């Protein structure tokens, strides 16, 4: 089941021809201080999503995904409808992933039970499976359980999974009444990726080399498409106006660096020029938008440049 989660998350932002929905806040624990949600319905309806799905077919990814389905009984693109991940700070044992889709419960459970480290934990009417990755025998134990027919929960902590089940069953509080998230979703039509966090400074600020997170209290980022134009829109609320100014200066420095690279890599220069940064009191906003068709072409060109650089480096070592 861990392999299933990894592959699902890697391709999780690719369009799915099934019904999905915006973030269901009633599924997210009130104890979480960050959440990530992928809305597949919005993505498949976008120009960007359709073009990326076509590119995956050209790249031969579909054949590999069919092989994956042969083993795990579900297709990571066609059988998964949505992914919501939430947690507390950077502690992996406090994070839970809720994957909505069509699964063969019996087959997946049988695969997990083949793991030598398999254990089962009874919790009310649920049986929580747990295991350790065979390739990482000294690694952390993982936990997984089905909720209903179409929800798969996976996480790194037994108590976290139990808490997630309680939230889904209405026995524990959720973020359902979070009006800030509701406003953010409303202000971003066509959004298919949402990332939001609060108490950022206290959670990960000390490990932030960029200097951005250590000054940030709350953060929200949206990726989507509006009128055939893909966009990234991020808002950070700093701990004070001075912190907001420092965040702005770091972002402007990164943009300037990209613009200076225009002579050697014109594409990076154009991308940097399309990024806008503004600051007002404690709030910093970053916005980027680009025609979706052109953006896919740019991404393909950047990928080709990266591959050429890797081949050149490999040839130099021979």
How many residues are present in the chain? 318
Question: Three-class SS of residue 185?
Answer: helix
Q: Residue 259: inside a domain, yes or no?
A: yes
pLDDT of residue 127: 95
Question: Three-class SS of residue 65?
Answer: helix
Mean pLDDT to the nearest integer, 152-172: 97
Kindly state whether residues 162 and 294 are assigned to the same domain.
no
Per the structure, the count of domains in the chain is 2
Percent of the chain scoring above 70 in pLDDT? 90
Helix (H) or strand (E) holding 76: none
pLDDT digits (tens, 9 = 90+) for 236-263: 999 999 999 999 999 999 999 888 877 7
Q: Residue 103: inside a domain, yes or no?
A: yes
Q: Determine what percent of the chain falls in helix, strand and coil, rounding each to the nearest 5.
A: 45, 30, 25
Contact 218, 237 (CB under 8 A): yes
Kindly state whether residues 158 and 220 are assigned to the same domain.
no
Q: Residue 315: inside a domain, yes or no?
A: no
Kindly state whether residues 290 and 162 are assigned to the same domain.
no
What value does the mean pLDDT of the chain take? 86
Kindly state whether residues 157 and 208 are assigned to the same domain.
no
Kindly state whether residues 236 and 122 are assigned to the same domain.
no
Q: Residue 186: inside a domain, yes or no?
A: no
Tell me the C-alpha distance between 226 and 286, whole Å.
Answer: 17
pLDDT of residue 131: 95
Closest CA to 253 of 237, 274, 277, 221: 277
Kindly state whether residues 161 and 19 are assigned to the same domain.
yes
Is 211 or 207 the better-scoring residue by pLDDT?
A: 211
pLDDT of residue 313: 85
Query: Torsion angle, CA of 51/52/57/60, rounded to 10 degrees?
Result: 150
| Model pTM score | 0.84
- In sequence order, what are the beta bridge partners of 141? 132
Q: Residue 64: inside a domain, yes or no?
A: yes
Q: Residue 309: inside a domain, yes or no?
A: no
Kindly state whether residues 214 and 279 are assigned to the same domain.
yes
> DSSP letter string over 142-158?
EEEEEETTTEEEEES-H
Q: Residue 191: inside a domain, yes or no?
A: no
**CATH number of the domain enclosing 90:** 3.40.1000
- Domain limits for position 82: 2-168
Kindly state whether residues 109 and 240 are assigned to the same domain.
no
Q: Residue 243: inside a domain, yes or no?
A: yes
Contact 6, 72 (CB under 8 A): no
Tell me the C-alpha distance between 178 and 274, whole Å.
Answer: 32
Kindly state whether residues 101 and 245 are assigned to the same domain.
no
Kindly state whether residues 149 and 249 are assigned to the same domain.
no
Contact 112, 176 (CB under 8 A): no
> DSSP letter string over 239-300?
SSHHHHHHHHHHHHHHHHHHHHGGGT-HHHHHHHHTEEEEEETTEEEEEEEEEHHHHHHHHH
Question: Three-class SS of residue 86?
Answer: strand
6 has a pLDDT exceeding 60: no
Lowest mean pLDDT among 14-18, 105-109, 157-161: 14-18
Kindly state whether residues 153 and 286 are assigned to the same domain.
no
Mean pLDDT to the nearest integer, 301-318: 84
Kindly state whether residues 144 and 20 are assigned to the same domain.
yes
Question: Three-class SS of residue 225?
Answer: strand
């Amino acid at each position: 089941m861990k392999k299933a989660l990894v592959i699902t998350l890697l391709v999780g932002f690719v369009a799915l021809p099934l019904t999905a929905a915006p973030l269901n806040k009633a599924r997210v624990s009130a104890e979480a201080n960050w959440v990530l949600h992928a809305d597949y319905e919005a993505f498949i309806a976008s120009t960007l999503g359709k073009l990326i799905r076509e590119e995956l077919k050209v790249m031969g990814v579909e054949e590999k995904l069919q092989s994956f389905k042969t083993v795990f009984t579900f297709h990571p693109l066609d059988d998964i409808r949505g992914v919501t991940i939430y947690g507390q700070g950077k502690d992996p044992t406090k994070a839970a992933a809720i994957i909505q889709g069509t699964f063969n419960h019996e087959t997946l459970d049988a695969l997990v039970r083949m793991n030598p480290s398999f254990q089962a934990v009874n919790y009310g009417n649920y049986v929580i499976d747990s295991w350790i990755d065979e390739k990482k025998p000294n690694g952390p134990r993982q936990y997984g359980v089905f909720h209903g027919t179409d929800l798969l929960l996976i996480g790194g902590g037994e108590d976290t999974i139990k808490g997630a089940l309680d939230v889904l069953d209405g026995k524990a509080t959720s973020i359902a009444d979070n009006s800030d998230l509701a406003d953010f979703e409303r202000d971003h039509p066509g959004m298919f990726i949402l990332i939001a966090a609060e108490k950022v400074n206290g959670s990960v600020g000390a490990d932030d080399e960029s200097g951005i997170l250590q000054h940030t209290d709350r953060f929200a980022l949206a990726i989507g498409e509006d009128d055939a134009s893909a966009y990234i829109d991020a808002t950070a609320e700093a701990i004070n106006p001075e912190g907001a100014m420092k965040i702005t200066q770091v972002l402007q420095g990164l943009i300037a660096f990209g613009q200076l690279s225009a002579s050697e890599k014109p594409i990076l220069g154009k991308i940097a020029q399309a990024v806008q940064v503004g600051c007002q009191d404690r709030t910093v906003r970053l916005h980027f938008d680009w025609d979706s068709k052109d953006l896919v072409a740019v991404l393909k060109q950047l990928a080709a440049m990266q591959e050429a650089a890797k081949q050149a480096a490999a040839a130099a070592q021979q």
